[in-house]
A and B are shown apart, each in its own frame.
Chain A
C-alpha cells in the first residue's frame, strides 16, 4: 500500500522544501534593495589658493535621491573622505545618506586620486576653499534646497582628514548648516607631537609611526564611523607619488608641508615654523567662528586622534553658544568602525543631527553625551561587544566624579635604550581594527626600561570615563627625560591590560640628577573608557622607549619615582544611564513567542476537547450487542481501490472467517477495524459504538494484524508485560497465565523474541491479542507459520474462545482453515464480498459433481441429453467432467454413464464454498493484485 502514500509524503516534503528554498532565496535576493538614488560623476574645476585664483580639478560624484528635482528640492551633505582615500572610500556612507533623503556630494580631495593639486593638509586656502567652491556649486544645482541665493542647505560630514575639513569649513563658511566631524583633530601639532604635562608641541614627543604612515600615504585612514572600511588606499592615490615632475621625496605633498615633515621626522622635534604650519590646518584657532551645530564623534580606540582632541573641539565650539554634541564610540584609527551596536548608535545620532539642523525635520536632538564600553568578546563573530551609556551633559575628560586609587612603589632606575631600540610596543598604528590585540596583552614593557607602581586590589569595580592623572618624579643625569606613562589594569592572574594601547608621552627638562631633588609633575593620561573589576589592581608604568614615538638616541639611565612612597591616581568617572540596546527587542520577541505558543497550545487542546465532546458517542441501538458491524466499507489509496464495498457482521458466539485470496482487501479491512487506517467511506460499529481511529471501544478488541510486532530485545513474557503496561489497565485484568497457556511457549517465554521462530512469534502474538480476554478477537492469518498440531490446537482454542458471548474474526486465504475453524464465513475478492453466511450452509453439498470418465466426448453427449443435468463441462483434464445437476441424485448420473458403457473412474462431490472460492482463485491464481 505504500506507493500512493509515499507519493503523498514526497509531495508534502517536496512542497515544504521548495517553500523553504524559495523563502531563503527570496529573502536573499530581496535584501540588497534597488538603489533609491542616482549618481553623477563630474570633474569640477574650482579656483582656490590664497588669492582664490588657482584652478584645480576635483573628481566629484553627486548622489541625488530619487524624486529630487527643481520643484522638490532636497538638502545636501558634503561628505569628505579620510587621508589617502578618494571619493570611492565614502561610497557606502553616501549611499546611506542618499537613502535618507540627502543629496550627497563626495569628492576626492586635492592631491589624492584623480583630483589635481597638492596636499596642503586641509589648509584654509586650499582644501577648505575647494570645499567652499563645492558649496557654491551645490547652491547652483536646482535640486538642492537653499536658504537664500548662493546659500544651499548643506551639512558637512567627514572622518579623520575629512573631519578636520568639516570643522575648518564650518568655521570659514557660514553657509554650512551643520557639521559632523568624526575621529578628527583639534590641533594637528598636538596630535603628532603630544606632551602630557601640558608643555605644548614644541616640546612634544613625535608620534613617528603614525606620521610616517601618513606621509607614506599608505595608512589605513579610510576610517569612518559610518561603515567606511575602505582601508586600502586607492591605487590611483598611490600612483600620484610616481607622477613625473614630482619631487620623489615629497610626492603630492605641497612643498611647505613636505619640508616641515622632513624637519620634524629628522630630529624628532618640531620648530615653531612647523608647529605654525600644522596649526594653520587645525580647527583649534578658529573654533569660535563655528556657528553650525556640531556633532563630534570620536573613537576610544584611537592613538592618533585621541578623545582629548574632540574634547578640545567641544569646549571651543560650545564656548560661543553653538550647539555641540559629543559621542564616543569603541573604535577609531586603531579600532576601526567598532561593533555594530556602536555603528548603529553613531548613525542614529548623525541622522538625527542632520535631519534637524539641515533637513529641518524632527525635534532638536539632545546634547547628551553618549559613549560605550567594551564588555567582552562576541562569542559568534569574535568581535568586541559594547554597552552604550548616556549622560545628560558632556562632562569633559574630568568626568562627573572621580575616584582615587593609591599606587605605591620605590624609586626605580630605568634605562633609555640607544636609538630607541629595543622599544616597548603599545599600539600598532595602521593595522586598523585589531582591538582585541590590545585587550589581550600584545602590549609589552621591556625589563629594565620601565618602572612599576602598583595599587592594592580594588574592593569594588571602577568605571573610568575620562583622563586619569598621576603625579610622578624623575631624575636624569642629562637633565632631560622622555618617558611614557601608562595605566594598566592587572587581573588577579597577572595579565595586564592597557586600555586601547593609549599612553602618555612626557618630555621633562631641567631634571636633577638625584631623585630626591626632583619636583613632582602631573601627567594627564589619555582619556579612556574602561571598567576595572573588583579584585584587579592598577599599575602605573613609566617606560622609556616606545615604538610609536621618537625618543632620545643617547643611552641614559633615569630614575623614576612617585612624589612620596605612594601617590593617588585620580580616575574620572561618569555614571551614565545605560542605553537600551536595540537587541533588547528580541527579548520581548522571545516572551511574545513563548506566550503565543502557550496560547496556541491551549487553543488546540480546547478545540480538540470540544470536538471530542461533540463527537457522536451515542450507541447505535440495533448494534448495541453486536460485536462488529461493518457497513459499506470502502478504502481508496490514491486511484487504487483496496476495498470497494464490504458489509458484514460478527455476532456474539460466532467465529467468522474472512476468506479471500491474497490482496483481496482482508488486511485493509482489518486495519480499518483497528483504527490504523481511516476508511474512505462506510461505518464500522463495535458493540454499537461508531469506530474511528483511537475509539475507546477498541479496548474491547484484541488483535493480530499483519503479523506479530514485538520488541526484539525483550523476552516473550516481558513483551506481553510491556504491552499490557501500555494499556494502562490493572495487571490483574490481563490474565497472563491464560495467555501464556495459549501461546504454549513453555520456558521459551523467557528468551528474547529475536531468537523466536516464526511460529513462536505468531503464537505469542495470538496470546497478546487474547490478553485481558477481549470480547472481540480479530486475527489476521493466525495459523501462518504454525505446524499442523498447533493449527489443530489453535482451532480448538478459537472455537472455545467464542463461547460466553465473545466473538472471533479470522482472516485467511485458506479455505480449509476457515471451513474447520469458523462458524460463519465472508468471502471477499477484489475488495468486495462474494459470498457470506454460515459455513454449514455455504460449505454444504452443492449439486455439482466432478466425474472422471473413460470416454469424455461420449459422456458429454450422453449427459447433455439427461433431463436432470443442467450443464456439463470439461474441466482441464479431458477426462474430467464437471456436471451440474438439477437435483438428480449422483447415483442416477453414474448409473446412466455405466449403462451407456462409459467407465467411471471417480465421482467427487463439490461444495458451494469451494465453488465460490475456486472460481475466484481460478480467475487469478496470483490474487487480485498486489494489494
Chain B
C-alpha cells in the first residue's frame, strides 16, 4: 500500500481522508439536518397534543382494516408509535431520507466545495462511500428519533400497554416492542429505494433541490401508479408496491411473504441506484 501513497504529502493517507466523523460534523453543522431531526421529535408531540383535543368524533378515515390503527393509537405507547410511523412512512420519512441522501453531494457541488474535497484529494469512491454512509446514518437516526420520541411520550401518556390491532390478537408489550423494531427495520429497508434514487440524483446534478424533489416525485409517482390496479403485474415492479407490507408484522403469526418481496425489491433498486451513482461519480468530470 505504501507505493499507492507514493508522492503524497507527509501524513496524507487516502484511506483517512474525509473521516466519517468529519463528514458527520459537516452535515450536522447544517441547519436543515437539525431541523429535519427536530421535526422527527416534534411530530409525535404535535400528534399527542392533537389527540388531547379529541372530541370522540367518529373520524373513520376509510382505511379499511387498518384504519382502526387510528382508533387504537391512544391505547398505549406502542400503538401510538405505530400510528406515528403509519402517518409519516408515506411522506414525511420519504422526504427526510430524500433530503439527507439527495442533498449531500449536490449541495457540495453547488457551494463549489466539492472540487476542493476532490483536490485534497479525497478519492472519489471514498467520498461517495462516506457521504452515503453518513446520509444513511442520518436517515436511520431520523427514523429512530421519530420512533423513540413517539414511544417515549406515548408510553408516558398512554402507558406501557400491549400492541393492539384489529387484524390479530393483541400482542404483549415485550414481543410488541420486537414487532415494532421489525417494522422500523422494514421501513428502513423500503426507504433505501428513496435513499438510492436521491443519492444517484445527488451525484448527477448540482441542484440539491432537484435531487431531493426528484426522488420524492418518483416516489409519489410510483405510489399513484400502484393505485391503478389495471396495471396488473407491472405494479409488483413499482418500488412503492410493498411499502406497506410491514402491516403484516401486526398479525399473528407474522406474514413475511410480502415483506420478503419488499426487501428484495428495495435491495435491488437501492443496489442498482447506488451502483449507478458510484459508476457515474467515479467517472464524471466535476464541472461545478
Using a CB–CB cutoff of 8 Å, the interface residues on chain A facing chain B are: 1-2, 5, 9, 24, 27-28, 31, 375-380, 382, 385, 387, 436, 440, 491-493, 533, 535-536, 581, 583, 586-587, 589-590, 593-594, 597, 608, 612-613, 615, 617, 619, 671, 674-678, 686-689, 693-701, 703, 705-714, 718, 722-723, 725-730, 733, 768, 772, 774-775
Contacts and interface: CB of A to CB of B under 8 A. Distances in A.
A493 B76 CA distance: 15
Interface of B: 3-14, 16-19, 21-23, 25-26, 29-31, 64-66, 111-125, 164, 166-170, 204, 231-234, 237, 241-242, 244-248, 250-253, 255-258, 260-261, 263-264, 267-268, 271, 284-287
A729 B12 contact: yes
A586 B261 contact: yes
23 contacts: A1-B285, A376-B167, A377-B65, A378-B258, A379-B250, A380-B258, A533-B169, A581-B257, A586-B260, A587-B260, A590-B260, A593-B268, A597-B271, A671-B285, A674-B118, A675-B118, A676-B285, A676-B287, A698-B119, A706-B112, A728-B13, A728-B19, A728-B22
B121 A385 contact: no
A708 B112 contact: yes
Judged by DSSP, the binding face of B is helix
B234 A674 contact: no
A709 B233 contact: no
A728 B119 contact: no
B222 to A, nearest CB: 12
A728 B20 CA distance: 10
A727 B12 contact: yes
Nearest to A673: B119
Contact of A700 (B7, B29, B260): B7
A248 to B, nearest CB: 42
A674 B122 CA distance: 11
A379 B260 contact: no
Given A586-B260, A726-B120, 20 more contacts: A2-B287, A28-B233, A375-B253, A379-B66, A382-B65, A385-B251, A533-B169, A535-B169, A587-B260, A612-B4, A619-B6, A675-B121, A695-B121, A696-B6, A696-B8, A722-B25, A725-B21, A728-B22, A733-B11, A768-B116
B121 to A, nearest CB: 4
Contact of A706 (B64, B115, B231): B115
B261 A594 contact: no
B245 to A, nearest CB: 6
A658 to B, nearest CB: 17
B264 A676 contact: no
B125 A696 contact: no
B196 to A, nearest CB: 13
Contact of B11 (A382, A697, A729): A729
A617 B4 contact: yes
A1 B3 CA distance: 35
Contacts of A617: 3-4, 6
Contacts of A589: 260, 264
B118 A726 contact: no
A377 B167 contact: yes
B248 A31 contact: no
Contacts of A380: 241-242, 244-245, 247, 258
B124 A694 contact: yes
Given A377-B65, A722-B22, A24 B234 contact: yes
Contact of B257 (A586, A689, A693): A586
B112 A700 contact: no
A701 B114 CA distance: 16
Contact of A382 (B30, B31, B64, B115): B64
Given A31-B232, A697-B7, A703-B116, A379 B246 contact: yes
Contact of B4 (A24, A674, A696): A696
Nearest to B167: A377
B31 A713 contact: yes
Contacts of B6: 617, 619, 689, 696-697
Name which of A376, A536, A689, A725 has the most chain B CB atoms within 10 A of its CB: A376
Contacts of A675: 118-119, 121
A377 B19 contact: no
Contacts of A5: 284-285, 287
Contacts of A706: 112, 115
A694 B248 contact: no
Contacts of B121: 675, 693-696, 698-699
B166 A440 contact: yes
A583 B264 CA distance: 13
Contacts of A436: 65
A578 to B, nearest CB: 11
B124 A726 contact: no
Contacts of A583: 257, 260
B246 A689 contact: no
Contacts of A775: 9
B39 to A, nearest CB: 18
Contacts of A376: 167-168, 248, 251-253, 255
Nearest to A718: B29
B29 A379 contact: no
A713 B29 contact: yes
Given A617-B6, A709-B112, A728 B17 contact: yes
Contacts of A689: 6-7
A597 B119 contact: no
Name which of A671, A695, A696, A774 has the most chain B CB atoms within 10 A of its CB: A696
A338 B25 CA distance: 55
A729 B26 CA distance: 16
A379 B244 contact: yes
Contacts of A387: 253
